[in-house]
Chain A
Amino acid sequence: DQQVKQNSPSLSVQEGRISILNCDYTNSMFDYFLWYKKYPAEGPTFLISISSIKDKNEDGRFTVFLNKSAKHLSLHIVPSQPGDSAVYFCAALFGANSKLTFGKGITLSVRP
């Protein structure tokens, strides 16, 4: 049972444009949602998180939007840079003492 879904396996955008990475979830009890960036053979790098009581959180070029009624969240990267090319994972957490449930990831390619 995949509770966190990233249905698009890849995304390609032009440098300077906006990248929108989507994530859906099925468990309405999730309390926090996190986004990670990952390069091959490395650990995930934490980017940004959002509490289920909020609908938006912003940190520099990264903004996460949460739509609880649709059980959907998205990560916006503006402007996209070639160094943003990596695999991005959405993850969700139930309570603050629980495990992260990860999506399968989406590969972002930013073209110069």
Chain B
Amino acid sequence: KAGVTQTPRYLIKTRGQQVTLSCSPISGHRSVSWYQQTPGQGLQFLFEYFSETQRNKGNFPGRFSGRQFSNSRSEMNVSTLELGDSALYLCASSRLAGSSYEQYFGPGTRLTVT
């Protein structure tokens, strides 16, 4: 079955602009999480959505926001971009099946802020 897909794969933006990233989870997965990956900080959790509701949030400023649609697709928005927002943004979809938990990552969106 298809994996997690993210669009676009690459983005170049200017400081002060805003950006929207999109994620389609694995079919049947209702939970979508977003992470920021940088060489210095590693993988940092942004937020998680389940059934269109944000149920967990990391320590990022309010410029970072997201939403989830009824078909479980999710979008992440970053407003007033800063140079430090340059990173690989990863989306992950997860499912709990019995005593097994799995979380699969997409290929990421590489954002460069100039």
Do residues A43 and B56 form an inter-chain contact, with CB atoms below 8 A?
A: no
Size of A's binding interface in residues, CB under 8 A: 24
Query: Using Cβ atoms and an 8 Å threshold, which residues of chain A touch B48?
Result: 97-99
Q: Are B102 and A49 in contact (CB under 8 A)?
A: yes
CB-nearest residue of chain A to B109: A43
- Residues facing A in B96-114 (CB within 8 A) are 96, 99-108, 110
Return chain A residues, CB-CB under 8 Å to B50. 97
Cβ of B106 and Cβ of A43 under 8 Å apart?
yes
**Set B43, B55, B94, B105: member contacting A45, Cβ < 8 A:** B105
Q: When chains A and B are docked, how far (Å) is the Cα of A16 from the Cα of B37?
A: 32
Give the 8 A-B residue pairs with the shortest CB-CB distance, closest first: A99-B45, A43-B105, A32-B101, A96-B96, A51-B99, A43-B108, A43-B90, A102-B43
